[in-house]
């Protein structure tokens, strides 16, 4: 990481070739390391921190300062980590140097003493201080080569240990990320559970409201049937009234024809009377004849006026009947529209009934699913109990092994203090035992890792089952359940909370496993220290063959560990894929939830429309009732009109009789022209008949007025 102002690139470019030549003179490994560091700086811009904003006059907004502060904190943390690593490397190198300086002269002395007594004479050891004299150049070169080999081996061992620690560290980081993910997921599930409970309450309220509406629908269906029966009765009455109207129209036409005939006859009578008056004036100078003719003319004119009035009244009644017929046709069209609306309402009711049947089937399915969930929960509880027992047993075994190893390390340290050559064989035997213990520990660690995987898989299954339970909860929310199902839902929610608690306990146990893994790491470090002590003892015995065998074993272990790491990575990838699948399933479930909410909203709107339509139907029913009452009143009026018309027909018959009497009088008047003038008795009779006809005409006029009213 570079923390500095950006350098002057032009000045550096002048010495570019010189720097490249110096880098080329270095070793290949150092060149590769330099190239990797350069690539880190050039490829990742976050490793370069620009401090130009700290200069005077540079002002930044709050939005730009926040990412800069974050990158600065990350870079400072990275610098601290690099410093700590460098300090550890320096300490390790200094310890190796001191150890080699302290151990190597003793090896030289022993090798020289064992190789030749002449060379042993050249060595002088006084009070622990070693001074080497009389060594040749070849021996020095040989010793330097051996020293270089040992350094290379030590570096390889150190690199292997670093790789192991890095792999363990990466695995622990991944586990920590998984733990954080599980925590966030648990919080999200709690929030989702709260929202689902709220939606459950809302849906329960909506369900109660919809139940009330469905109860009202049954009553509305009954009212609809009654209205249909009334509509049928009204149609029958309308047809009867139509027939009556046709009969009345025919009668009216006949009356008009009779009226026209009477008018023609009255005109003819008037003409004849005029001729009679003229003839009478010419024939007889009597005074009574003109008065009689004048009276007859007045009677005829009054009758003509009355008949005209009756004609007008009949025309008005005909127009009124036509208007009534038009209104009846409009009512018939309205009745047809109401029939169509009733049919649409019946179809909607059938659709709602089908939806209710589907909801009942879904409720039955949910009950069966709830029973299956209870069975799965019981099996999971049994498996968790068995896992707890196994984990406790393994933890106790690991603690006992750790105690045994600590005792062995203490005994080895006590034995290492006494540098006697007689106990080398015992140390080698103990070394073999320690190696066996290490292999056992590694196998147990592998078994623990496999068990950890099993536990993680079980946790994954629990999570999937919790997700499945949540899906069931959503289905339960979306379905309209009865009170018994609500009780089962509450019990299932309690079981869900219990499962979530058990999942949290499993996470806590995973954390405990992480702690045990850290303890295993410490044990591995102690084992490494023990190996170092064993290597020191072997260096004193100069057994390179055993070192080579250990090196081969270490390589085999390294390969096995790499295989295990690859397996762990593959399992991690599979778990990530499973997590992604679960997230996709959750997304699809959320979409289904939104879709179901939209369907519920649509059903609400349809129900509101049904309520409105039923209100409109009530209003139309009230209007129809009013219209039916009006029609009944009109029917009564028409019955009364029929009676009055019959009376009018009787009156008309009487008028016809009067007309016949007038014809008789006309014949008599003709006789009068030839015979003597009329006597006083005949004149009185004629006046009586005329007055009677006037009274009958007035009576018919009053009856027609009543009919119009």
| Proportion of the chain above pLDDT 90, given as a percent | 0
* pLDDT the model gives residue 351: 74
Mind listing the pLDDT tens digit for each residue in 293-304?
566 667 767 777
Query: How confident is the model over 93-125, as pLDDT tens digits?
Result: 888 787 777 665 555 545 544 544 444 444 333
- Counting DSSP H helices and E strands in the chain, the numbers are 11, 4
Segment among 134-143, 169-178, 515-524, 690-699 with least mean pLDDT: 690-699
Q: What is the largest CA-CA distance in the chain?
A: 212
**Coil/strand/helix, residue 639:** helix
Neighbours of 661 (CB within 10 A): 16
The pLDDT, as a whole number, for residue 603 is: 65
pLDDT beyond 60 at 289: no
pLDDT at 440: 67
Among the ranges 251-260, 417-426, 448-457, which has the highest mean pLDDT value?
251-260
- Supply angle C-alpha 139, 103, 556, rounded to 5: 90
At 126, is the pLDDT very low, low, confident or very high (cuts 50, 70, 90)? very low
Residue-by-residue DSSP string for 569-624: HHHHHHHHHHHHHHHHHHHHHHHHHHHHHHHHHHHHHHHHHHHHHHHHHHHHHHHH
Mind listing the pLDDT tens digit for each residue in 46-59? 777 666 666 655 56
Q: What is the pLDDT of residue 678?
A: 42
DSSP bridge pairs for 124: 131
* Residue 577 tokens, joined: 């894929």
3-state SS track over 494-562: HHHHHHHHHHHHHHHHHHHHHHHHHHHHHHHHHHHHHHHHHHHHHHHHCCHHHHHHHHHHHHHHHHHHH
SS3 132: strand
Report the pLDDT value the prediction gives residue 676, as an integer from 0 to 100: 42
Q: What is the mean pLDDT of the chain?
A: 68
CA-CA distance, 471 to 494, in Å (whole number)? 15
Report how far Cα 340 is from the mean position of its chain's Cα atoms: 37
Phi then psi dihedrals of residue 253, to 5 deg: -65, -40
Rounded CA-CA distance 675/683 in Å is: 15
SS3 122: coil
The residues pairing with 130 across neighbouring beta strands, listed in sequence order, are 125
pLDDT at 655 exceeding the cut of 80? no
* 356 SS3 class: helix
Answer for the pair 266, 301: CB distance below 8 angstroms, yes or no.
no
> How many CB atoms within 10 Å of residue 152?
10
DSSP state of 56: T
Q: Is 547's pLDDT higher than 70?
A: no
Mean of pLDDT values over 157-175: 80
pLDDT 10s digits, 307-360: 777 777 777 777 777 777 777 777 777 777 777 776 777 677 677 667 767 766
Q: Are strands 123-126 and 2-3 parallel, antiparallel or unpaired?
A: unpaired
Confidence (pTM): 0.22
Of 578, 376, 592, the closest CA to residue 466 belongs to 376
Report how far residue 304's alpha carbon sits from residue 266's, in angstroms, rounded to the nearest whole number. Answer: 7
Measured CA to CA in angstroms, residue 231 lies from 40, 237, 336, 623, 627 at distances of 91, 10, 10, 12, 11
701: phi > 0 → left, psi -120 to 50 → alpha, else beta; which?
alpha
Determine the Cα–Cα distance for residues 197 and 494; give it in Å rounded to an integer. 13
CA distance 389 to 395: 10
Q: Taking residues 226-255, what's their average pLDDT? A: 81
- C-beta contacts of 134-143 below 8 A and 24+ residues apart: 135/108, 139/112, 143/104, 143/108
Residue the block writes with tokens 């920590």: 176
* pLDDT over threshold 60, residue 634: yes
> Is the predicted pLDDT of residue 27 greater than 60, yes or no?
yes
Per-residue pLDDT averaged across 543-558, rounded?
64
Nearest partner of 398 among 437, 357, 441, 452, judged by Cα = 441
Residue appearing with tokens 């904003």: 53
Separation between Cα atoms, residue 1 and residue 82, nearest integer Å: 9
Confidence of residue 565 (pLDDT cuts 50, 70, 90): low
Pick from 69, 175, 157, 47: nearest CA to 459: 175
* Token pair listed for 255: 């009356």
DSSP 12-51: HHHTHHHHHHHHHHS-HHHHHHHHHHHHHHHH-GGGEE--
3-state secondary structure 107-163: HHHHHHHHHCHHHHHCEEEECCEEEECCCCHHHHHHHHHHHHHHHHHHHHHHHHHHH
Residue 206: how many CA atoms within 13 Å on its side-chain side? 19
Name the residue ranges covered by the structural domains of the chain. 1-94
**Residue-wise pLDDT tens digits, 82-96:** 888 888 888 888 887
Residue 707: burial class (beta carbons within 10 Å; 0-12, 13-18, 19+): buried
Residue 147 binned pLDDT confidence (cut-offs 50, 70, 90): confident
Segment 487-533, tens digit of pLDDT: 555 665 666 566 667 656 666 665 665 666 666 666 556 656 656 65
For helices 62-115 and 137-283, angle between their N-to-C axes, nearest 10 degrees: 150
Is residue 248's pLDDT more than 60? yes
- pLDDT at 203 (0 to 100): 80
Q: What are phi and psi of 48, to 5 degrees?
A: -110, 120
């Amino acid at each position: 990481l570079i923390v500095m102002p950006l350098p002057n690139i032009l000045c550096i470019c002048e010495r570019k070739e010189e720097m490249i030549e110096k880098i080329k003179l270095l070793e290949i490994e150092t060149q590769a390391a330099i190239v990797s560091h350069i690539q880190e700086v050039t490829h990742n811009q976050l490793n370069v921190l620009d401090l130009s904003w700290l200069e005077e006059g540079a002002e930044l907004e709050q939005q730009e300062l926040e990412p800069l502060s974050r990158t600065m904190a990350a870079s400072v943390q990275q610098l601290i980590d690099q410093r700590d690593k460098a300090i550890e490397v320096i300490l390790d190198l200094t310890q190796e140097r001191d150890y080699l300086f302290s151990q190597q002269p003793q090896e030289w002395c022993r090798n020289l003493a064992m190789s030749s007594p002449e060379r042993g004479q050249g060595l002088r050891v006084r009070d622990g201080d070693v001074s080497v004299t009389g060594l040749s150049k070849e021996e020095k070169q040989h010793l330097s080569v051996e020293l270089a080999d040992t350094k290379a081996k030590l570096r390889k061992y150190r690199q292997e240990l670093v790789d192991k620690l890095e792999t363990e560290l990466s695995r622990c980081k991944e586990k920590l990320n998984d733990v954080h993910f599980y925590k966030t997921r648990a919080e999200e599930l709690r929030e989702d559970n709260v929202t689902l409970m709220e939606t459950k309450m809302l849906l329960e309220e909506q369900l109660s409201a919809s139940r009330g509406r469905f109860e009202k629908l049954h009553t509305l269906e009954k009212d609809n049937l009654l209205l249909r029966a009334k509509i049928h009765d009204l149609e029958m009455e309308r047809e009867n009234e139509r027939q009556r109207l046709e009969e009345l129209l025919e009668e009216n036409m006949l009356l008009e024809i009779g009226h026209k005939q009477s008018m023609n006859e009255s005109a003819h009578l008037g003409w004849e009377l005029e001729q009679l008056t003229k003839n009478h004036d010419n024939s007889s100078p009597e005074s009574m004849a003109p008065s009689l003719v004048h009276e007859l003319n007045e009677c005829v004119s009054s009758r003509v006026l009355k008949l005209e009035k009756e004609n007008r009244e009949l025309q008005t009644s005909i127009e009124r009947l036509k208007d009534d017929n038009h209104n009846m046709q409009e009512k018939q069209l309205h009745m047809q529209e109401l029939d169509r609306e009733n049919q649409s309402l019946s179809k909607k009711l059938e659709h709602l009934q089908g939806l209710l049947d589907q909801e009942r089937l879904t409720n039955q399915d949910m009950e069966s699913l709830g029973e299956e969930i209870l069975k799965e929960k019981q099996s999971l509880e049994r498996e968790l109990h068995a896992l707890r027992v196994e984990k406790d047993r393994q933890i106790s075994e690991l603690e006992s092994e750790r105690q045994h190893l600590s005792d062995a390390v203490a005994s080895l340290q006590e034995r290492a203090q006494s540098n006697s050559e007689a106990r080398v064989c015992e140390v080698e035997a103990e070394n073999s035992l320690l190696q066996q213990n290490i292999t056992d520990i590694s196998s147990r660690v592998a078994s623990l890792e496999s068990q950890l995987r099993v536990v993680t898989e079980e946790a994954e299954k629990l999570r999937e089952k919790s997700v499945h339970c949540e899906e069931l909860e959503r289905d339960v929310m979306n379905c309209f359940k009865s009170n018994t199902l609500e009780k089962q839902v509450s019990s299932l929610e309690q079981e869900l909370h219990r499962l979530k608690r058990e999942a949290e306990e499993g996470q806590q146990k995973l954390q405990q496993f992480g702690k045990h893994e850290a303890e295993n790491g410490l044990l591995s470090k102690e084992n490494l220290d023990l190996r170092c002590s064993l290597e020191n003892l072997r260096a004193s015995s100069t057994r390179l063959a055993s070192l080579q065998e250990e090196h081969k074993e270490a390589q085999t272990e390294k390969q096995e560990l790499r295989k295990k790491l690859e397996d762990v990575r593959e399992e991690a990838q599979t778990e990530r894929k499973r997590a992604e699948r679960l997230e996709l399933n959750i997304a699809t479930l959320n979409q289904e939830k939104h879709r179901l909410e939209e369907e519920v909203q649509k059903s609400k709107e349809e129900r509101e429309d049904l309520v409105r339509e039923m209100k409109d139907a009530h209003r139309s029913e009230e209007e129809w009732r009013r219209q039916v009452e009006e029609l009944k009143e009109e029917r009564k009026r028409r019955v009364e009109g029929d009676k009055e018309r019959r009376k009018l027909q009787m009156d008309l018959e009487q008028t016809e009789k009067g007309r016949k009497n007038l014809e008789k009088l006309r014949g008599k008047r003709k006789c009068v022209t030839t015979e003597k003038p009329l006597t006083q008795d005949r004149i009185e009779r004629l006046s009586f008949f005329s007055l009677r006809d006037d009274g009958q005409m007035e009576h018919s006029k009053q009856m027609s007025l009543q009919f119009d009213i």
